Amino acid sequence: MKTSQILRYQELADRLAELIQQGTYPRGERIPSVRQMSQQQGVSISTVLQAYYLLEDHGLIEARPQSGYYVREHAAERLPEPEMSSPGQDPSQVSLHEVVMMLMRDSTNPNLVQLGAALPNPEYLPLKKINQITAKILREDEINAHQYHFPPGIEILRVQVAQRAVNAGCSLSPSDILITSGGTEAIDLCLHAVCKPGDIVAVESPMYFGSLQTLEVHGLRALEIPTHPREGISLDALKFAIEHNPIRAVLVISNFNNPLGSHIPDEKKKELVELLARHEIPLIENDVSGEIYFSEKRPLVCKAFDKKGLVMLISSFSKDISPGMRIGWVAPGRFKAEVEWLKFTISSSSSALAQMVIAEFLESGGYEHHLRRIRREYARNVDLMSRAVMRHFPAGTRVTRPSGGFVLWVQLSENVDSLELYKLALQGGITLAPGYVFSATHQFPNFIRLNAAEYNYMTERALERLGVMIVEMSKK
Ligand X SMILES: Cc1ncc(COP(=O)(O)O)c(C=O)c1O
- Give contact residues for ligand X (rule: CB under 6 A): 118, 182-184, 208, 210, 253, 258, 286, 288, 316, 318, 323, 328
Nearer to ligand X, 214 or 446 (CB): 214
The smaller minimum CB distance to ligand X, of residues 318 and 397, is found at 318
Minimum distance of ligand X from residue 299's CB (angstroms): 15
**Residue (224 or 417) nearer to ligand X, CB:** 224
Q: Three-state SS string across the chain, please?
A: CCHHHHHHHHHHHHHHHHHHHCCCCCCCCECCCHHHHHHHHCCCHHHHHHHHHHHHHCCCEEEECCCEEEECCCCCCCCCCCCCCCCCCCCEECCCHHHHHHHHHHCCCCCCEECCCCCCCHHHCCHHHHHHHHHHHHHHCHHHHCCCCCCCCCHHHHHHHHHHHHHHCCCCCHHHCEEECHHHHHHHHHHHHHCCCCCEEEEEECCCHHHHHHHHHCCCEEEEEEEECCCEECHHHHHHHHHHCCEEEEEEECECCCCCCCECCHHHHHHHHHHHHHCCCCEEEECCCCCCECCCCCCCCHHHHCCCCCEEEEEECCCCCCHHHCCEEEECHHHHHHHHHHHHHHHCCCCHHHHHHHHHHHHCCCHHHHHHHHHHHHHHHHHHHHHHHHHHCCCCCEECCCCECCEEEEECCCCCCHHHHHHHHHHCCEECEEHHHHCCCCCCCCEEEEECCCCCHHHHHHHHHHHHHHHHHHHC
The span from the CA of 282 to the CA of 201, in Å, is 10
As measured in angstroms, the least distance from the Cβ of 183 to ligand X is 3
Residue 207 Cβ vs ligand X, minimum distance, rounded to whole Å: 9
Nearer to ligand X, 80 or 151 (CB): 151
Q: Residue 208 or 335: which CB sits closer to ligand X?
A: 208
Q: How far is the CB of 57 from ligand X (least distance, A)?
A: 25
Residue of 326, 307, 367 lying closest to 153 (CA atoms): 326
Q: Which is nearer to ligand X, 234 or 318 (CB)?
A: 318
The amino acid present at 404, given as its one-letter code, is: G
Q: CB of 209: closest distance to ligand X in angstroms?
A: 9
Nearer to ligand X, 183 or 229 (CB): 183
Nearer to ligand X, 222 or 470 (CB): 222
User: From the CB of 210, what's the least distance to ligand X, in Å?
Assistant: 5
Of 120 and 152, CB closest to ligand X = 120
Q: Least distance in Å: CB of 317 to ligand X?
A: 7
In the complex, what is the shortest distance from the CB of residue 211 to ligand X, in angstroms, rounded to a whole number?
A: 6
Q: Residue 220 CB, nearest distance to ligand X (Å)?
A: 16
Identify residue 157 by its one-letter amino acid code: L
Q: Which residue is nearest to ligand X (CB)?
A: 182
Q: Which C-beta is closer to ligand X: that of 160 or that of 318?
A: 318
Identify the CA nearest to 258 among candidates 435, 57, 389: 435
Q: Which residues of 205-242 are buried (b: 16+ CB within 10 A; e: fewer)?
A: bbbbbbbbbbbbebebbbbbbbbbbbbbbbbebbebbb
**Residue number with CB closer to ligand X (126 or 328):** 328
End-to-end C-alpha distance for the chain, whole angstroms: 34
Smallest gap from Cβ 170 to ligand X, in A, equals 19
- Least Å from the CB of residue 323 to ligand X: 5
Q: Strand 247-253 and strand 283-286: pairing?
A: parallel
Nearer to ligand X, 254 or 397 (CB): 254
Q: How far is the CB of 47 from ligand X (least distance, A)?
A: 31
